[in-house]
Amino acid sequence: MMREDLGYAHRHQEYDAYGNVVKETYYNENEEPAIWKEAGYASCEKLFENGNQIACSYYDTNEKLTLRKDYGYAIRKNQYDKYGRTIFRRYYGIEGEPVINSEDHCAGWGYWYDEKGNETDVWYVVLHPVSNNTLLG
């Protein structure tokens, strides 16, 4: 049964050997890819490294990168330190260009930790108005 409020009939998830969800796809009642209405994508693929999610990409029903309509980005990338703590999170568009996440109103985050591993600072990543490169705000 198709849930009109969601835009899909069912969600399928695939896992890696470590139990991480690496792909999530939405389907209509005919088993064709469908768009999740709230978020505006048909599937997402996640990449993991050392147990940490390093990237998540969103696709339309034709398996082409698409912007999440709820947040305005197509790719989210995370970078971790040697202890597995997030040190950067950045958002990108369809062409791989930095974009502003419409929920957080920034192009990403930078995280700093003290010698005991406590998070001490969180910085906004902003876009340079001319070059469109990312900068810590």
Reported as a single tens digit per residue, the pLDDT across 25-83 is 999 999 999 999 999 999 999 999 999 999 999 999 999 999 999 999 999 999 999 99
What residue has token string 């985050």? 109
C-alpha atoms less than 13 angstroms from C-alpha of 66 in its C-beta half-sphere: 17
- Taking Cα atoms as reference points, which of 123, 125, 64 lies closest to residue 94? 64
- Cα gap 69→39, rounded to integer Å: 5
Residue 137: its pLDDT value, please?
A: 54
pLDDT tens, position by position, 87-124: 999 999 999 999 999 988 999 999 999 999 999 999 98
* Residue 132 pLDDT grade (very low, low, confident, very high; cuts 50, 70, 90): low
DSSP letter, residue 113: E
Which phi and psi angles does 7 have, rounded to 5°?
Answer: 90, 5
pLDDT reported for residue 135: 60
The residues that bridge with 106 in the sheet, in sequence order, are 101
d(CA 11, CA 1): 12
Query: What is the distance between the alpha carbons of residues 25 and 42, in angstroms, rounded to a whole number?
Result: 6
* Dist CA 115 CA 5 (whole Å): 48
Q: What is the pTM of this model?
A: 0.89
